[in-house]
Structure 1
């Protein structure tokens, strides 16, 4: 069969881990039944000049130090959003849901019957041999370790994650002490994580089943401490606008569903540079090129044949990959979802 007869120029997969926005509430650790929505506060502050100057400016300051004094005296006025617990609150409560979906063997769009047939065969073989057990264990671990808190996880005295899983046949709950689980690797076992992972794996491997995870996380941060909702990306900020705009939904501070989803899929320890979890970037989010924007680096490049397309184009047509870890990565990318059509020119 010629490859040109097996090209899907239209190919898309719906994501199978669907996160909601995360809503933020304040409470106390000793009385977590009483919660109150957290609202954003606007601040007007006068900042100091701290940016790196151009070489020409630095040279001018060396010649005439008074020019730097004039710069420092210039007011750096800013309006920013912030969010904090109340004076009588010491605990952040973050609530969100995650829906796990089946149907990975069938693309949501595919315009080539031969490709669809070969892909479905490869996906079914993966389900038969691997059963999503490894991927589900890592997703469940990222729920248990509260990776989704991002900056809110740093410096927390206590973190408790409550998970309730429901569908037509499942209604179970678990409580995790997130401080007991690392975010640098997945080299740990836990019976409760395994139980949650089993239900997630069953659904991911199914044709059309679903599982709804209702997640409530409590973080003891300290009285009146600042907490960190998602920051909005504003492309066209006019003069006088706020320099930091935080996310809120109906006056409740919130985290983007995309940010929570990114945390859940931060499971890639199979990229080439992950050799020592203490010195490497640690697990990275599942991306087609292993992109980590805050580090400005792509860890899976086409030149090294480690990107998603290098693996997927051969695997989906019936060829075996060298490592089962590469199959895990390919399937995790499909769980993430996206448009993966190949040019037929």
Structure 2
């Protein structure tokens, strides 16, 4: 009992992510050719120079000087940007990536305290034995079926078809074909609403449980219209250097053969957007599973430590103090472990 009372969080504690997506590549073609892989051509980036206007807020010092204000708002805003578009003989974007589902949920990749590791593994094992991983598997499957991973490319689409196959060696087996626009983004069903979605959810759950080797290929076909702009990931420039380009888009490959793509991290963020257990979830909808419920685009962290709803407060109460969180918070803690990360107490 004395060891239990003195149990402390390991200073070295990390978990590998269990949903491991690749980058998602962009191809162009026509809706009628969805089943013909040879009909699809890679989408390449190109540069465009535009003459825009000044539309940002003017500093108050400049605004107080009529001459400076006139000069600031009348001068053109010259920009060079990356763009990616469908050709004018293609009406459909194809986005393709692979997804590995790994087992060993709750087993640390690194932990320098055997006592803490034993207690943690026992706690997570009890959760899995009691509740299983079905809730998480259903939600990850739903985010594949609804096309959340397409981000801005999903908006305004005429139709979206998502084909998911399971890869095993050189063989592939169709898991399901989903109409993404028929699946909601703001809510999750506790049980799958179709046989195909249920099969996908069971497959992901089995992969997380370590019962099967699961490797999926995801192909999303988005009918947008001929010549329409498509939206790969935008690169974050920490050091712009001498470049005059104001927007860099992500691509895979070199020079002319580089293919427009979405970062694997952005795909992973979309797949783990399953947290509806945080405060105010009914208003804001699902957010990505993060230790503090951080949504950087909103500048908000929905799981504040002072409310004891953040990952660390919940995990410490569960493992160190044997205070079992409510079931919704248990789901959240396990989802963070599926996400992976470094969680040691280095203080």
Bin of the TM-score, shorter chain as denominator length: over 0.9
- Unaligned 5+ residue runs, structure 1? none
- TM-score of the two chains, using structure 2 as the length reference: 0.92
Q: 2:214 aligns with which of 193, 211, 215?
A: 211
- TM-score of the two chains, using structure 1 as the length reference: 0.92
Partner of 1:120: 121
Q: 1:338 aligns with which of 318, 336, 341?
A: 341
Q: Residue 164 of structure 2 contacts residue 216 of structure 2 at CA under 8 Å; is this kept in 1?
A: yes
Partner of 1:201: 205
Mapping for residues 253-332 of structure 1, pairs under 5 Å: 253-275=260-282, 280-317=283-320, 319-332=322-335
Residue 175 (1) aligns with residue 177 (2):
yes
Residue 54 (1) aligns with residue 59 (2):
yes
Distance across 2 between alignment mates of 1:27 and 1:116: 51
Q: Residue 119 of structure 1 contacts residue 318 of structure 1 at CA under 8 Å; is this kept in 2?
A: no
Alpha-carbon deviation of 1:133? 0.2
Alpha-carbon deviation of 1:7? 2.9
> What secondary structure sits across from 1:243 in the alignment?
strand
Distance across 2 between alignment mates of 1:82 and 1:67: 33
Alpha-carbon deviation of 1:6? 3.6
> What secondary structure sits across from 2:64 in the alignment?
helix
> What secondary structure sits across from 1:223 in the alignment?
coil
RMSD across aligned C-alpha pairs, in angstroms?
Answer: 1.9
Alpha-carbon deviation of 1:318? 6.8
**What whole-Å deviation, never above 9, does each CA across 1:231-275 have from its counterpart, x for those lacking one?**
001111134421000000111000000000000000000001113
Q: 2:48 aligns with which of 20, 43, 47?
A: 43
Alpha-carbon deviation of 1:172? 4.2
Distance across 1 between alignment mates of 2:60 and 2:187: 42
Alpha-carbon deviation of 1:191? 2.4
> What secondary structure sits across from 2:188 in the alignment?
coil
Distance across 2 between alignment mates of 1:190 and 1:332: 24
Mapping for residues 23-38 of structure 1, pairs under 5 Å: 23-32=25-34, 33=36, 34-38=39-43
Distance across 2 between alignment mates of 1:317 and 1:97: 38
Alpha-carbon deviation of 1:167? 4.6
Q: Which moved more, 1:68-77 or 1:4-13?
A: 68-77
Q: For this pair of structures, how many residues does the alignment match? A: 335
Distance across 2 between alignment mates of 1:101 and 1:194: 19
> What secondary structure sits across from 1:192 in the alignment?
helix
> What secondary structure sits across from 2:285 in the alignment?
coil
Distance across 2 between alignment mates of 1:111 and 1:80: 48
Q: Residue 121 of structure 1 contacts residue 318 of structure 1 at CA under 8 Å; is this kept in 2?
A: no
Partner of 1:252: 259
Partner of 1:145: 146
Q: Residue 122 of structure 1 contacts residue 318 of structure 1 at CA under 8 Å; is this kept in 2?
A: no
